[in-house]
Amino acid sequence: MQVLQARKLAAGHTLTAVILGAIGYYLRKVELNTVFDPVTGLASSKPITYILIALSVFAALVFFLFAIRLRGFTSPEGYERAYRTNSPVVMIISFLLAIVMLFASYKYYIYAKTLDSVIADSILALFAALSGLSYLTLSINAWRRKSGSEMALCCFILVIFICYWLILTYKINAANPVILDYVYDALALCAFALAGYYITGFCYGRGSPAKTLFFSNFSVYLCFVSIAGSHIFPVTVFYSFTASVMLLNSITLMFNLKSTASDDPENDSGDAYSDIPDTEDIFTLPELADDSEELPGTNDE
């Protein structure tokens, strides 16, 4: 029952992130249309700004409370077991995401050639393409129950992509006196970087489901808010990709949660797909009877 409760909490966690993100998206749209002066670009003090700030604080508090309630649960060691699925749905979605990211990376590279910082932005396009392929590799290996050093490498590429993107965002807006213009973009990338850090921990057997779900779903909320900004098409796709990855990771992780309580009858199952025998279990021969046990009718008089 505790495992079922954890999955309900995690499902509510993910659904809450989507609902709050949709509300944040709407409020951010209203804020961009009313707060910023169309001529000077400066921001004026309007109630919508404080409402969005209050919503963001409320979202962080809700995700924090969810995370506290999940502290009594853990997940199997290894990324391929913590994020494993019993159907190729996640793998198919990640394949589509990889195609979209490759296309968006190409479009961003074309855009980067018109900028003065063509090399720096071209590197971002390269990392974006590699991130789409990396998540596809992670999804395929998780579905095939395959582990290896490439799992940590793929997670590392995702984190590097976000960190490099965050550096470029700061560089572009370093001279911008209106912090409100890019603050949610920076927060979204920071939250995703932290989520990627904790996701990478599963590759080394040190995963933390509560912290991972907190930063994953908080980054989803912030990505929704950031998507409302006036970005070029490739950047909007990048934000959509990060939100989709975090949502898929949250959903797959919650189905593999298990209780740390020793008296939980479902704790021995390990995860939601433990009824599927592993390959080595299928080909294991049954143990022979102990030699010390006497079979009926074999006693010599």
Please say if the pLDDT value at position 298 is more than 50: no
Q: Which two tokens stand for residue 252?
A: 């797959």
**Residue 260's pLDDT is what?**
65
Q: How far apart are CA 217 and CA 79, in angstroms?
A: 18
Candidates 188, 219, 250, 210; CA nearest to 66 is: 210
Contact between 84 and 256 (Cβ < 8 Å): yes
What percentage of residues in the chain have a pLDDT greater than 90?
42
- The contacts found for 14-18 with CB under 8 angstroms, 24 or more apart, are 14/217, 14/220, 14/247, 14/250, 14/251, 14/254, 16/59, 16/62, 16/63, 16/66, 16/217, 17/59, 17/63, 17/217, 17/218, 17/220, 17/221, 17/247, 17/250, 18/220, 18/224, 18/247
- Residues 6 or more apart whose CB falls under 8 angstroms from that of 152 comprise 79, 200, 203, 204
Q: What confidence tens digit (pLDDT) does each residue in 118-176 have?
A: 899 999 999 999 999 999 999 988 888 877 778 889 999 999 999 999 999 988 888 77
Q: What confidence tens digit (pLDDT) does each residue in 45-56 have?
A: 788 989 999 999
Sorting pLDDT into bands at 50, 70 and 90, what band is 7? low
Contact between 209 and 253 (Cβ < 8 Å): yes
**Residue 177's pLDDT is what?**
78
Residue with more model confidence, 135 or 298 = 135
Q: What confidence tens digit (pLDDT) does each residue in 68-93 have?
A: 877 777 777 788 888 888 778 888 99
**Residue 268's pLDDT is what?**
42
- Quick one: 23 exposed, middle or buried, by C-beta within 10 A (0-12, 13-18, 19+)? middle
Q: What confidence tens digit (pLDDT) does each residue in 202-233 have?
A: 888 888 888 888 899 999 999 999 999 878 99
Sorting pLDDT into bands at 50, 70 and 90, what band is 186? very high
pTM of the complete model: 0.80
**Residue 213's pLDDT is what?**
87
Please say if the pLDDT value at position 191 is more than 50: yes
- Residues 6 or more apart whose CB falls under 8 angstroms from that of 199 comprise 79, 155, 158, 207, 212, 216, 249
Please say if the pLDDT value at position 196 is more than 70: yes
Please say if the pLDDT value at position 262 is more than 50: no
Unique residue bearing structure tokens 């995702």: 158
**Residue 259's pLDDT is what?**
67
Q: Which two tokens stand for residue 97?
A: 């995401």
